[in-house]
């Protein structure tokens, strides 16, 4: 039927598709020009809807307009496959004609808009920064630093200049402030805090030495040289020389002696009294300095020492002044005593079993075997009492150490022991005592009380100061580190390495370094003595001495000493009977003494903690790292308003700048 066939024909035509190839041509499916454009269904929405071609092609082409006039081509009788089909094909011609007519009905876009957009895009491409300027422009919009955004945003050159000046001033002030903070931190200053603590305290070690280094009854064990020295220093022999001593006087001008311009009344009186002549005689010598002790420098030690000072220190007091006679005697005795064998010196010295009459700690008794003997050059046998169970749980004399000692003064060597008593050293447990350099002199015939207050010191090491950790020292020498012990050991080692011998006077150090004495001999010749004297005189200012720093942690004891006469007559009688029970030889000596002389034979020593409160003195950095970082952050935030995270923005900006510059250099 004609009507039906027409409807079928229109339906067939509506199902056809026209393809826009992108070059202004519309193609049918399967045509030679198809497969590269857009497909548009031929329906009522064809003017606004484009469907991608099945064979592919761009998904979207904004602003695309058809090229040419399909309807005009149809009217002009041109049959082009790309514009609607052939004229000899009515269906194709009609399809192309209708398609051209419909395309003409589409609203045309204003080309002026396209021109404007193109111009704007061109301007944007021209104004967009590139390279280094692009990096700076990108980051200035994101910076949290105060002032940067204002500098970029403002168009007023005056305001921009003011903001630049303010930003530069803030950066300069911040730099100076940071410099001061860093300088202060790098000074590594320290502060000291004092804290009072209370606890049961470990009792310190106590070392006692009789001031008499050897007993006269054991003098038979000594060498002939030592016996000769002891005989020369006997005061009885020195008194005989006093009759032959003639004082020396110098004639001194009165004006020089009293002073030309001295108007003091008493000096003018003395001047008037002495000006019967123009000169006055002034004694310039003392018997105890000039007494002839018969000392002969057999080994040439004194001559070597004097020669050394005259050569090395010509302007020093030691080189110009004369050596005292008593100094010569003391040095001579110590040198000869040090040359005795250690076993011999130990036998000649006082024994703790003879000296100790009573010992107790906190009311509990201790005995002679609790003491350890130490050999010294000045005092002979010294004895140390230390025990890790000695713990003071209460303060006061009752809970401390109490010693009653018999001094055996009848055994004192005349001229060597010129006083009666003991030397007491109170030191931390585990440390080595040096009675010659430290300690308290306790007189005979007294009850001496020493009240202690412990002080615990903790020092900063490293960059905050010099201090020595004691672990390595204790491993090498089996004692706790002290500065005195370190210096004595360093002096000994310096002497051995320089002079190839050791100084016999450094007896305390010899005990600590027995393992190093196997192939080293004593310094005996004049050249060796000169070498020893040179090392000793220059040691204090040497690097070896300066390397001995204070310990990083140590315990010291503040001491309060008080004394009174002891014992009284009745108690002295009891002490004499006690000695008689243990030593009949000493008993006869004591019984022959007067009561006052008997008092001088004994000493009572009481050592205790005055208070169990002790001081903890601790060094700490005056400028801690957390405070330093806080001040740095506060300074940066104050001047330019940056936080920690905002600082990384600056870091990122600098990294990009450096990367860009480095890449540019590589390309060039």
Query: 591 and 444 share a domain?
Result: yes
Query: Is residue 41's pLDDT more than 80?
Result: no
Query: 530 and 651 share a domain?
Result: no
Higher pLDDT, 346 or 520: 346
Helical pair 157-186 and 625-640, crossing angle rounded to 10 deg: 170
Tokens at residue 235, please?
Answer: 């005061």
* Pairing, β 446-458 against β 602-609: parallel
- Note the pLDDT of residue 287: 64
CATH, residue 439: 2.60.470.10
**Closest of 148, 311, 136, 265 to residue 642, by C-alpha:** 148
- Note the pLDDT of residue 129: 54
Query: Is residue 229's pLDDT more than 80?
Result: yes
Query: 440 and 563 share a domain?
Result: yes
Query: Is residue 416's pLDDT more than 80?
Result: yes
Query: 546 and 558 share a domain?
Result: no
Query: Is residue 622's pLDDT more than 80?
Result: yes
Q: Which of the listed residues 550, 582, 598 is the one where a domain comes to its end? A: 550
Tokens at residue 539, please?
Answer: 């040691």
Residue 62 lies inside a defined structural domain of this protein: yes
Residue 70 lies inside a defined structural domain of this protein: yes
Query: 594 and 631 share a domain?
Result: no
Structural domain span for residue 62: 2-112
Q: Which of the listed residues 112, 140, 166 is the one where a domain comes to its end? A: 112
| Distance (Å, whole) CA 40 – CA 21 | 11
Q: Which of the listed residues 83, 112, 141 is the one where a domain comes to its end? A: 112
Query: 373 and 450 share a domain?
Result: yes
Query: 499 and 456 share a domain?
Result: no
- Note the pLDDT of residue 280: 60
Query: 571 and 660 share a domain?
Result: no
Residue 476 lies inside a defined structural domain of this protein: no
Average pLDDT of the chain to the nearest whole number: 77
Query: 428 and 360 share a domain?
Result: yes
Q: Which of 13-27, 121-135, 349-363 has the highest mean pLDDT?
A: 349-363
What's the sign of the alpha-carbon dihedral 369, 372, 378, 380? Answer: positive
Q: Report pLDDT digits (tens) over 499-508.
A: 988 888 886 7
Answer whether 0.85 is exceeded by the pTM: no
Query: 575 and 449 share a domain?
Result: yes
Query: 525 and 391 share a domain?
Result: no
Higher pLDDT, 144 or 534: 534
Query: What is the four-CA torsion angle of 511, 512, 518, 519, rounded to 10 degrees?
Result: -110
- In which band, very low, low, confident or very high, does the pLDDT at 277 lie, cut at 50, 70 and 90? low
Residue 13 lies inside a defined structural domain of this protein: yes
Residue 500 lies inside a defined structural domain of this protein: yes
Query: 510 and 656 share a domain?
Result: no
217-to-135, 203, 395, 421 alpha-carbon distances in Å: 100, 36, 42, 19
Q: What's the structural domain count of the chain?
A: 4
Residue 235 lies inside a defined structural domain of this protein: no
- Note the pLDDT of residue 537: 82
Residue 349 lies inside a defined structural domain of this protein: yes
Percent of the chain with pLDDT over 70: 66
Residue 297 lies inside a defined structural domain of this protein: no
**Closest of 607, 561, 558, 608 to residue 457, by C-alpha:** 558
């Amino acid at each position: 039927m004609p009507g039906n066939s027409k409807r079928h024909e229109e339906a067939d035509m509506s199902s056809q598709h026209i393809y826009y190839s992108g070059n202004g041509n519309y193609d049918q499916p399967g045509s030679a020009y198809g497969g590269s454009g857009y497909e548009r269904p031929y329906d009522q929405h064809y003017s606004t809807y484009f469907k991608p071609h099945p064979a592919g092609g761009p998904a979207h082409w904004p602003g695309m307009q058809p090229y040419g006039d399909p309807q005009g081509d149809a009217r002009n009788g041109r049959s082009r496959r790309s514009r609607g089909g052939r004229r000899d094909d009515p269906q194709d011609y009609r399809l192309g004609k209708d398609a051209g007519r419909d395309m003409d009905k589409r609203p045309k876009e204003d080309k002026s808009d396209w021109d404007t957009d193109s111009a704007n895009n061109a301007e944007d491409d021209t104004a967009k920064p590139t390279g280094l300027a692009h990096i700076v422009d990108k980051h200035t919009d994101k910076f949290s630093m105060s002032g940067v955004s204002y500098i970029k945003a403002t168009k007023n050159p005056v305001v921009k200049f003011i903001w630049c000046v303010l930003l530069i001033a803030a950066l300069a002030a911040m730099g100076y402030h940071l410099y001061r903070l860093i300088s202060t931190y790098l000074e590594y200053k320290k502060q000291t805090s004092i804290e009072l603590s209370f606890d049961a305290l470990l009792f310190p070690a106590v070392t006692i030495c009789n001031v008499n280094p050897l007993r006269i009854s054991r003098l038979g064990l000594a060498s002939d040289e030592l016996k000769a020295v002891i005989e020369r220093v006997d005061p009885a022999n020195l008194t005989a020389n006093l009759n032959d001593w003639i004082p020396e006087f110098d004639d001194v001008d009165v004006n020089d002696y009293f002073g030309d311009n001295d108007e003091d009344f008493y000096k003018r009186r003395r001047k008037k009294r002495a000006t019967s002549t123009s000169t006055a005689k002034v004694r310039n010598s003392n018997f105890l300095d000039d007494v002839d002790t018969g000392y002969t420098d057999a080994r040439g030690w004194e001559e070597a020492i004097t020669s050394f000072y005259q050569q090395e220190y010509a302007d020093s007091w030691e080189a110009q002044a004369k050596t005292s006679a008593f100094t010569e005697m003391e040095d001579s005795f110590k040198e000869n005593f040090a040359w005795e064998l250690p076993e011999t010196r130990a036998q000649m010295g006082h024994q703790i079993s003879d000296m100790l009459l009573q010992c107790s700690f906190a009311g509990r008794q201790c005995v002679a075997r609790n003491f350890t003997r130490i050999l010294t050059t000045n005092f002979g046998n010294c004895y140390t009492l230390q025990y890790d169970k000695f713990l003071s749980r209460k303060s006061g004399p009752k809970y401390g150490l109490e010693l009653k000692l018999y001094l055996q003064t009848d055994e004192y060597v005349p001229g060597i022991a010129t006083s009666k008593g003991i030397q007491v050293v109170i030191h931390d447990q585990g440390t080595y005592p040096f009675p010659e350099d430290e300690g308290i002199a306790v007189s005979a015939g007294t009850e001496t009380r020493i009240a202690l207050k412990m002080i615990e010191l903790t020092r900063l090491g490293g960059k905050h100061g010099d201090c020595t950790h004691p672990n390595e020292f204790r491993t090498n020498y089996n004692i706790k580190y002290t500065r005195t012990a370190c210096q004595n050991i360093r002096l000994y080692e310096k002497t051995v390495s320089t002079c190839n011998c050791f100084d016999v006077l450094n007896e305390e150090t010899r005990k600590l370094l027995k393992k190093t004495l196997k192939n080293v001999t004593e310094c005996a010749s004049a050249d060796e003595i000169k070498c020893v004297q040179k090392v000793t005189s220059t040691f204090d200012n040497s690097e070896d001495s300066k390397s001995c720093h204070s310990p990083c942690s140590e315990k010291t004891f503040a001491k309060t000493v008080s004394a009174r006469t002891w014992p009284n007559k009745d108690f002295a009688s009891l002490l004499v009977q006690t000695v008689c029970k243990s030593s009949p030889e000493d008993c006869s000596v004591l019984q022959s003494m007067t009561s006052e002389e008997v008092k001088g034979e004994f000493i009572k020593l009481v050592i205790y903690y005055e208070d169990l409160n002790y001081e903890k003195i601790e060094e700490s950095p005056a400028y801690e790292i957390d405070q330093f970082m806080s001040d740095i952050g506060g300074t940066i935030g104050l001047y330019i308003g940056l936080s920690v995270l905002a600082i990384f923005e600056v870091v990122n900006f600098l990294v990009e700048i450096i990367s860009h510059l480095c890449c540019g250099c590589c390309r060039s």
